[in-house]
Amino acid sequence: MTLPIIFEPAPRRGLSVSALPQPGYARPADLVYGASAEAAVAAGDGLPLAGGPIAFRSLDLIRRDVDAVRLQTVPVADLDPDILPSGLLDRLTVPRDPVWSTDGPAIMGIVNVTPDSFSDGGRFASRDAAIAQGRRLAEEGARILDIGGESTRPGAAEVSIDQEIDRVVPVIEVLAGEGHCVSVDTRKAPVMRAALDAGASIVNDVSALTHDPDAPALLAARNCPVILMHMRGEPGTMQADPRYECAPLEVYDELHARLAAAEAAGIARERLVVDPGFGFAKTAIHNIQVTAWLALLHGMGRPVLFGGSRKSSIAVLSRGEPADDRLPGSLALALAGADLGAQTVRVHDAAETAQAFALRRAILQEC
């Protein structure tokens, strides 16, 4: 962050609202899990994060000024609703749709039907290989299968609409026909339409509906969840020189604006999911900052999807490992997302992630 963070004393209960600068953001803090979360909520010392099973016992009230980010930490027991943005506590605590989470994050398995994916080098570019990979991911614990026919790695070239449809539709038809929950990873309205007609039930748009002007109207007419991911620019140029003064707050602002635009286009808020876009128009440090502040996104009141699997930032912050050797870092990011309340994690390695989550659940049940 280029803006310094200044920690200020917490506001006192009963202090006149007019004497307080209103916080622009609120980040759940002092998170607790398992029996500790249940006890905190029962005692009135905590509130359920997105309906649980995590609880937060404090709230970081954040203001962004020209010269600094100013942060005040207030225990839940001392919160005065009058100093909070309208409806904030409801948005932080309302349960999310169970398709995204039950007792922990749902796993979304990645199926790249592309010859130039950064993560798997085109191993699933054929129809049969992609179908087999989708089945394998589902068996290993993926609740959602995310099918993509265009690489959006840094520097990737755009694929024609017809080619993208030819890649994803045959795979979606089979996997959806077998009863799997299928998401289509695309920025293009014609591909969205073809995928939904083929049985996909979720649209995952890395451009947050900015790439294709026909996408918002199409999705307003379809009753499916829509994932809005944060990205600046286009995949071909997004990593040229990404700059932020405070990456977590700017990502929040830009995602909040895309939520509002989607609602204005007629897409019901209840169908929208937010994704901070790990690896998209961000340096490794930006990605880590956004991850560390992931709980901030719960203030939008929508499910949070988090995807750091095999991303190059793992190598940058480690020893330069190729994509196939980034499983440990991918698991570390998935677990961090889970601990910060993400409802869904998007991964290449479903079995390993499911195993890590199983151990996490067992440990937290004893807390």
Q: How far is CA 349 from CA 136, 149, 169, 306, 323, in A?
A: 10, 19, 23, 14, 12
Q: Is 188 assigned a catalytic role?
A: no
Q: Is 258 assigned a catalytic role?
A: no
Q: How far is CA 344 from CA 10, 17, 19, 209, 354, in A?
A: 32, 37, 40, 20, 12
Q: How far is CA 207 from CA 27, 100, 233, 276, 296, in A?
A: 25, 20, 8, 11, 21
* Active-site pick, 70, 310, 311, 326: 311
Distance of CA 193 to the CA centre of its chain: 23
DSSP H helical ranges for 59-213: 88-93, 127-139, 161-177, 189-198
Residue in the structure block whose two tokens are 């506001």? 11
Distance CA 5, CA 12 (A): 21
* Active-site pick, 57, 346, 360, 361: 346
Distance CA 154, CA 67 (A): 32
Query: Which residues belong to the active site?
Result: 311, 346
